[in-house]
Amino acid sequence: MRRLILIAIPYVWLLALFLIPFVIVVKISLSDTALARPPYFPQWDWSLGWAGIKDFFAELDFENFWFLTTDDLYWKAYLSSLRIALISTLMTLLVGFPIAYGMARAPEHWRPTLMMLVILPFWTSFLIRVYSWMGILSQNGLLNALLLGIGVIDEPLIILNTDTAVYIGIVYTYLPFMILPIYAALEKLDGSLLEAAEDLGCSRLSAFWLVTVPLSKQGVIAGCFLVFIPAIGEFVIPSLLGGSETLMIGKVLYEEFFSNRDWPVASAVAVILLLILIIPIVLFQRNQQKQAEAEG
């Protein structure tokens, strides 16, 4: 009995916090927009009884999904989000791996401090940290003042309100999510394996490629998913740091919901986004499972 309850808890959790909200979103995505409160039709009305429920389902259709295919804006936005998320995941990896490597190779008594430094930024609101990047990157901002001051450039660089600023924002924000799993993988790495590789004639570089990199693969994969999945739906970073031409699905979703007041189309956009995200999530899950089996 106790076991059953224990198993049931995560399922109830999943049902209440994921499945039910998702069903509601799907329901709205099949409705029509209306000037009402809330702004869509049909509404669920218990008082009409069985006939009401039948009418309710008769009103639902896939028109909004069809609409998404008629305008290339949505596909362009999905693709552009995918591109931005992929590139920034790669950049986060390039920055995060050396940091995680350095942390794992640091003397043991330093490591808790280094770990603390990686986590420390979370103590400040995410919004404020992105906001402060606006101050750093703007035309009269800190970065330009510094570069102009030491004479590297003559004209201020225009970084804020471009895609470059979005990449900087995403890499900065999600870096800890990349560092921590890689660090966890590298820390477990048995140093004697590297010694053995060198004894067997490997140079330090090839030992790194042949031993360290494959053994940290799981951490790298976990880190990449943890960055990629939130980055693709990112709204705050592109709207604060990006320019008007930065096209991301999060912004399109916001506009459907707030500017067009078209909750049904907004819900349809969200459902498709979720379907796109399910693929990497399933891959991630499978990867985790394989790893567990390999270790078990």
Partner 1 sequence: MSKTLIALTAALTVGTAAVAEEVHVYNWSDYIDEELLAKFEEETGIELVYDVFDSNELLETKMLAGGSGYDVVVPTGTFLQRQIMAGSFQPLDKSKLPNAGNLWDVIQKRTDVYDPNGEYSINYMWGTTGIGANVGKVKEALGDDAELNTLSLIFDPAKAEKLAGCGIHLLDAPTEVIPAALTYAGWEGGPDDKSDEALAKAEEVLSAVRPYIQKFHSSEYINALANGDICVALGWSGDVLQARDRAAEADNGVEVTYEVPSEGALMWFDQMAIPVDAPNPDAAHKFLNFILDAQNMAAASNYVYYANGNKASQEYLIEDVIGDTAIYPDDATLENTYTVTPFGPKEQRSLTRLWTKIKSGT
* Contact positions vs partner 1 (CB under 8 A): 33, 35-39, 71-73, 76-77, 138-140, 161, 243-247, 252, 255, 257-262
Contact, 101 vs 220, CB < 8 A?
no
With 0-12 / 13-18 / 19 or more C-beta atoms within 10 angstroms meaning exposed / middle / buried, residue 168 is buried
Nearer to partner 1, 74 or 174 (CB): 74
> How far apart are CB 37 and partner 1 at their closest, in Å?
5
Strand partners, 41: 32
- CB of 266: closest distance to partner 1 in angstroms? 10
* Distance in Å, CB of 245 to partner 1, minimum: 5
Closest approach of partner 1 to the CB of residue 264, in Å: 11
Residue among 126, 85, 110 at smallest CA distance from 225:
85
Q: What are phi and psi of 190, to 5 degrees?
A: -80, 115
Determine the Cα angle at 194 with ends 193 and 196, to 5°.
65
**Residue at 272: amino acid letter:** I
CB of 216 or CB of 246, closer to partner 1? 246
Residue 97 or 263: which CB sits closer to partner 1? 263
Transcribe 172-224 into DSSP letters: HHHHHHHHHHHHHHHHT--HHHHHHHHHTT--HHHHIIIIIHHHTHHHHHHHH
CB within 8 Å of 147: residues ≥ 6 apart? 153, 157
Angle (deg, nearest 10), helices 217-232 and 72-105? 140
71 or 295: CB nearest partner 1: 71
Measuring CA to CA, which residue among 271, 227, 216, 221 is closest to residue 98?
216
Looking at the Cβ atoms of 208 and 257, the one nearer to partner 1 is: 257
Nearer to partner 1 by Cβ, of 138 and 164: the residue is 138
Q: How far is the CB of 228 from partner 1 (least distance, A)?
A: 23
As measured in angstroms, the least distance from the Cβ of 136 to partner 1 is: 14
Hey, what are 39's tokens? 């702004």
